[in-house]
């Protein structure tokens, strides 16, 4: 019984939100991370465009079959050329 109780308690815990290296008004550029299986974790800069983070949203996705909440961030970036994009934080790097 105690094993079942501890399993139920663990499944009710909220997962910790992933840490985010950005904050509003940070300067960023588009990057692409190398393959996760690679021994080197490097970023490849995509273009020379720079932008400013205008907003960071935390989105929560739940489904009826899965009780765990998957938290994701969506970052709104205003680029220097005047366009606005919504990106995942993994596609942005510090400028």
Residue 79 neighbours by CB distance under 10 Å: 15
* pLDDT tens digits for range 57-92: 987 766 655 555 556 889 999 999 999 999 888 889
Instruction: In whole angstroms, give the CA distance from residue 27 to residue 19.
Output: 18
Instruction: In whole angstroms, give the CA distance from residue 52 to residue 82.
Output: 11
Residue 30 neighbours by CB distance under 10 Å: 20
Instruction: Look up residue 10 and give its two tokens.
Output: 């663990």
Instruction: In whole angstroms, give the CA distance from residue 84 to residue 78.
Output: 4
Q: Where are the domains of the chain?
A: 16-94
Instruction: In whole angstroms, give the CA distance from residue 55 to residue 76.
Output: 5
Q: Is the pTM of this model over 0.85?
A: no
The answer to whether residue 16 scores a pLDDT higher than 90 is no
What is the mean pLDDT of the segment spanning 23-34?
A: 86
């Amino acid at each position: 019984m105690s094993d079942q109780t501890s399993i139920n308690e663990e499944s009710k815990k909220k997962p910790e939100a992933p840490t985010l290296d950005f904050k509003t008004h940070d300067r960023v550029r588009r990057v692409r991370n190398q393959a996760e299986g690679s021994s080197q974790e490097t970023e490849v800069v995509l273009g020379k465009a720079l932008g400013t983070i205008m907003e960071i949203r935390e989105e929560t996705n739940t489904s009826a079959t899965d009780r765990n909440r998957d938290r994701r961030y969506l970052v709104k970036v205003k680029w220097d050329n005047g366009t606005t994009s919504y990106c995942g934080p993994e596609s942005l790097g510090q400028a």
